[in-house]
Amino acid sequence: MIQGYHTYKACIDACLKCAALCNHCAASCTKEEEVGMMARCIQLDMECAAICYAAAQLMSLGSEKAKEACTICAALCEACANECSKHENKHCQECAGACNACAQECRNI
């Protein structure tokens, strides 16, 4: 059976939501008063968004490497969630939630 978009839809949706919220978080972090304190958060947001987009694309293509991409995606999502959860602002908390949900979906692949 060919695996692709329909097989992975829940994970693709979680990855795309996570990437969007990571981008929002990174952009919002640049507007924080102590932007230097947000450097690690911004970096992880950007890395997480990149792997989420890549994993979603590979899953939608039915790639043989989709599972490997999801393994890396879950690890980066967890790292991003851990960092974002250290910050009390709304965008970081929202991002942490999306990252945790995405990591869980990726682990289910």
pLDDT in tens, 11-56: 999 999 999 999 999 999 999 999 999 999 999 999 999 999 999 9
The answer to whether the CB of 85 falls within 8 A of the CB of 103 is no
Measured CA to CA, the distance from residue 72 to residue 48 in angstroms comes to 10
Question: pLDDT tens digits, residue range 53-103?
Answer: 999 999 999 999 999 999 999 999 999 999 999 999 999 999 999 999 999
Write the class of the CATH domain 5-107.
Answer: mainly alpha
The answer to whether the CB of 69 falls within 8 A of the CB of 54 is yes
Domain ranges of the chain: 5-107
Measured CA to CA, the distance from residue 3 to residue 29 in angstroms comes to 37
Q: pTM of the predicted model, to two decimals?
A: 0.95
Look up residue 13 and give its amino acid. Answer: D
